[in-house]
Structure 1
Amino acid sequence: MDSSTFFTFATLFYLAAMILYISFLIFKKEAVGMAASGVTYAGLAIQTLALALRWIESYKLGIGRVPLSNLYESLVFFTWSTVLIYLIVEYRYKTRAFGAFVMPVAFLALAFINVADISADISPLVPALQSNWLLYHVLMSFIGYALFAVAFAVSVLYLLMDTEDRGPTGNLYLALGVIASVVALGYILTGMGAKVVFWLGVGVLLLAWFTYLVVAGARNRSQVYLFWSFCIALVAGMLLFMGLDYVLFQGRHLPAEETFKKHMFESTFLSSSRAVAVLCWAGVLAIFYVVWSQGLKLRTLLKQFLPSPEHLDDLTYRMIAIGWLLFGVGGLAMGAVWANSAWGTYWSWDPKETWSLITWFIYSLYLHARFVRGWKGTQMAVISAVGFMGVIFTYLGVNLVLSGLHSYGGL
């Protein structure tokens, strides 16, 4: 069996672990929790073996390189790092509740490889990657990403546990109206060829909302709960319809060169049928409504399993502090030195470099606010959540959407 087979096994183990961790929260059976931990350890062991096999396979092909050079390998290593860090946190804090939020990230990251038709071929390094800096730069960057991912999961839990009252229903209806209006405006402007203007406007709107939450979130918990519901609903909705879109794509039996990436969301949000697109967005809004209206029930369920909010806040800080250092040194500083040797300049404002710097500044703001302003709690959890959105775009968004000097990291 080759490394790809073992990665498939690891994906299945992480799926089983995800189900077991969620079942542990629902049924409150210690045996289920122990089974979840055992399956996670087994999945990590299998994935470790798969990484080692892929490294060996590269030598057998006469290439001989560390398996960290393309999107497939980086996703695999990101997942491995995230699971490893989670298990350390589980052992240190003696709680399995985090697993229900971390293991879905691990499973979905590996499943995304198959869904997006990401190439698993072992190919020679492009000239820019033929350097001893590769191992240190990518290793430290992705351990930093993994730490940020765990911090994000803990922050989401903190925002939920810190909510006593979801606020008036009017907040929900206003949010649903705003989302529906923005989506409708997006289709109109895109049809007029003003796609860039639309996304700039969305960016400004989100930035204004995030700024308000950071500044006034501690005094307006209902808006923070709305933000929490929005994040959960958006992720759940996108994943649900991406899965549906993938099933429909497979049923079309297109030529092999027609990848899912080229046709993503064509059968749902980007469907030529306006009625289908409206129904999909209505589904997202329905998920938002359910999450907002039922979220506090999840809070009641989790309360008996989680450490105190103070411990959650402290754990988020520890993850971000270490991740910030690793990402700053390995991702930015070492990356700049490597870029100078490969391209003759330390900084070229490549999309990947730019978004990496933006992400690092967000987490710098987190640490600055904690040390200088003395902020803790809700405001910090919001910054952590926003920071991880930057991580996602830096990692996947830039690779899949934009082009630049880091284009070799794409599909």
Structure 2
Amino acid sequence: MNDWLIFSSNAFITAFALYCASFIAYAIAVAGKRWSNREPAAHTARWGRIAFITALLGWAAHLTFFFTRWIGGGHIPTSNMYEFMTFLAMAIMFAFIVVYLIYRNTLLGAFTLPLVIIIIAYASVFPSQVQPLIPALNYVWLKIHVTTAALGEAFFAVGFAAALIQLIRVVDLTTTDKAGVRARRWTEFCLVIIIIIIGFLAAVFIFRGAGYHAEFRQESVLIDQQGQAQTSVKEVKYGLPPIVKPYNSDVISMQPFMGLQQPLFEAPSWMNGVNAGRKLNTVIWSVISGLVLYGLMRLIARKPLVAVIHPHLTDIDPDDLEEISYRAIAIGFPIFTLGALIFAMIWAEIAWSRFWGWDPKEVWALVTFLFYSVYLHLRLSRGWQGTRSAWLAVIGFLVVMFTLIGVNLVIAGLHSYAGV
């Protein structure tokens, strides 16, 4: 590793630490005002300034990481999942800074910073070594396509954060009618999804720290261009105890865990993404870990998490949150359209000699574009505001995350390198 990459790694750790410190300051600004001797507004303003300055310092360190890794690696660091997710986190921070400077809403930082921290932690699951570019990625249009698409998604993320705050703010904790109970349950479910992601990170790092290892030999049949069947054998390594083994595979080695001597299931044959069995196993462990973590949090709080957060949001105008969410998405939509569709088509023509090929990532980028088109149409032309608009913003970002992460789990395509 050369000096630039060492410096880059240190800058990345510094950025992560500053983001964590900024989140703590935002949490104090929002939740600590009840126990402060100052006036609540003065307490929030003081800690909000500290949190924002710390976030700016973290973003500066993140920029340093990005450019020094670019210099040390010889190409823009967006070519694999580790690099793309770290860039996405940096783009979300940029989008947050822009929106915050417009609206000066402290709560936005309290919800955006955890999202950035989770994405960085998720990126750390993947190998961080600089990898040589495959020929299809060695084009200037890759830089333009990936960076603009990620920047558009970053503004969608800020819109999601504001919409989630809005949903928690307007939820009625006292009503017993079906609509009120359904609203509480779905809002709580959104928090459960976030906790499941945290549970995934906890499981990965705990078993990685314990040195857990399992390995399988998987045999697959490929059809070549002449229609001939070719048998391929590869080894698949697991870092989590294998509840699900790869399709059509045998165990090479497996450490027992809590009585689990052999995998319980085999991945279905239709899951033909890169290392689909391992990823399905990871999803199962994520759900298990997340639900256990959620259960512990409920046990400590003795009430739903929505009921824990809601009292700290009562002095916020939900209309302001909706405006923030809408403006963030309105900024991100044309950027995403350029990056994920138009620039992507130009790159596809250069790299693969066709503008469009119905590759899974291309299809889901189109789905994302169409969904946010519908959101903007309903918001502007049909007057969909309030909770309906907020739910669309939340669901839209879930579509974005599936496009980034979920597609590689179940479908193989030209973008499968991103899941390695």
Is 2:87 the partner of 1:87? Answer: no
Distance 1:399 1:23, change over 3 A: farther
Per the TM alignment, residue 241 of structure 1 is displaced from its structure 2 partner at its CA by 5.3
| Alignment check: 8 A CA contact 2:9 2:65 kept | yes
Match of 2:238 among 251, 262, 275: 262
Name the SS for the 1:2 alignment partner: helix
* Deviation by residue 1:166-223 (Cα, 9 ceiling, x = unmatched): 543x97xxxxxxxxxxxxxxxxxxxxxxxxxxxxxxxxxxxxxxxxxxxxxxxx3442
Task: Provide the residue aligned with 1:70 in structure 2.
Answer: 80
Match of 1:123 among 123, 131, 135: 131
| Alignment check: 8 A CA contact 1:351 1:402 kept | yes
Query: What count of residue pairs does the alignment treat as equivalent?
Result: 351
**Alpha-carbon distance between aligned partners in 1 of 2:65 and 2:302, rounded to the nearest angstrom:** 37
Distance 1:376 1:323, change over 3 A: same
* Deviation by residue 1:278-337 (Cα, 9 ceiling, x = unmatched): 897465467579697352452221233x3x222211211111122121111211122122
Is 2:12 the partner of 1:7? Answer: yes
Name the SS for the 1:247 alignment partner: helix
Task: Provide the residue aligned with 1:56 in structure 2.
Answer: 71
Name the SS for the 2:238 alignment partner: helix
**Alpha-carbon distance between aligned partners in 1 of 2:330 and 2:307, rounded to the nearest angstrom:** 30
Task: Provide the residue aligned with 1:157 in structure 2.
Answer: 165
**Alpha-carbon distance between aligned partners in 1 of 2:305 and 2:215, rounded to the nearest angstrom:** 43
Question: What is the identity, as a one-letter code, of the residue corresponding to 1:125?
Answer: L
Per the TM alignment, residue 107 of structure 1 is displaced from its structure 2 partner at its CA by 1.1
Structure with higher RCO (Cα < 8 A, 6+ apart): 1
Question: What is the identity, as a one-letter code, of the residue corresponding to 1:55?
Answer: W
Match of 2:335 among 318, 322, 326: 326
Is 2:251 the partner of 1:236? Answer: no
**Alpha-carbon distance between aligned partners in 1 of 2:237 and 2:48, rounded to the nearest angstrom:** 37
**Alpha-carbon distance between aligned partners in 2 of 1:288 and 1:141, rounded to the nearest angstrom:** 37
Is 2:394 the partner of 1:385? Answer: yes
| Alignment check: 8 A CA contact 1:234 1:288 kept | no
Query: For structure 1, which runs of at least 5 residues remain unmatched after alignment?
Result: 59-63, 172-219
Question: What is the identity, as a one-letter code, of the residue corresponding to 2:54?
Answer: V
| Alignment check: 8 A CA contact 1:154 1:315 kept | yes
| Alignment check: 8 A CA contact 2:103 2:324 kept | no
Is 2:186 the partner of 1:227? Answer: yes
Task: Provide the residue aligned with 2:273 in structure 1.
Answer: none
Task: Provide the residue aligned with 2:309 in structure 1.
Answer: 298
Name the SS for the 1:98 alignment partner: helix
Task: Provide the residue aligned with 1:317 in structure 2.
Answer: 326
Task: Provide the residue aligned with 2:27 in structure 1.
Answer: 22
**TM-score normalised by structure 1 residue count:** 0.76
Task: Provide the residue aligned with 2:112 in structure 1.
Answer: 102
| Alignment check: 8 A CA contact 1:245 1:267 kept | no
**Alpha-carbon distance between aligned partners in 1 of 2:16 and 2:415, rounded to the nearest angstrom:** 27
Question: What is the identity, as a one-letter code, of the residue corresponding to 1:341?
Answer: I
Distance 1:295 1:255, change over 3 A: closer
Per the TM alignment, residue 105 of structure 1 is displaced from its structure 2 partner at its CA by 1.0
* Identity in percent: 30
Task: Provide the residue aligned with 2:149 in structure 1.
Answer: 141
Distance 1:228 1:71, change over 3 A: same
Per the TM alignment, residue 20 of structure 1 is displaced from its structure 2 partner at its CA by 1.7
Distance 1:294 1:112, change over 3 A: closer
Distance 1:38 1:265, change over 3 A: farther
Per the TM alignment, residue 97 of structure 1 is displaced from its structure 2 partner at its CA by 1.3
- What is the 5 A alignment of 1:158-307? 158-165=166-173, 167-168=175-176, 220-240=179-199, 242-254=201-213, 262-264=238-240, 266=242, 281=291, 284=294, 293-304=304-315, 306=316
Task: Provide the residue aligned with 2:404 in structure 1.
Answer: 395
| Alignment check: 8 A CA contact 1:249 1:260 kept | no
* Deviation by residue 1:367-405 (Cα, 9 ceiling, x = unmatched): 111122121111111111111111111112224554210
Match of 1:47 among 44, 47, 62: 62
* Deviation by residue 1:81-100 (Cα, 9 ceiling, x = unmatched): 11122122222212211111
**Alpha-carbon distance between aligned partners in 2 of 1:282 and 1:12, rounded to the nearest angstrom:** 26
**Alpha-carbon distance between aligned partners in 1 of 2:387 and 2:18, rounded to the nearest angstrom:** 34
Q: Which moved more, 1:259-268 or 1:224-233?
A: 259-268
* Deviation by residue 1:100-152 (Cα, 9 ceiling, x = unmatched): 110011111112222x2x12222332111122211221111000110010000
Name the SS for the 1:403 alignment partner: coil
RMSD of aligned residue pairs (Cα, Å): 3.2
**Alpha-carbon distance between aligned partners in 2 of 1:393 and 1:261, rounded to the nearest angstrom:** 24
Distance 1:151 1:56, change over 3 A: same
Of structures 1 and 2, the larger Rg is shown by: 2
**Alpha-carbon distance between aligned partners in 2 of 1:167 and 1:285, rounded to the nearest angstrom:** 24
Larger proportion of strand:
2
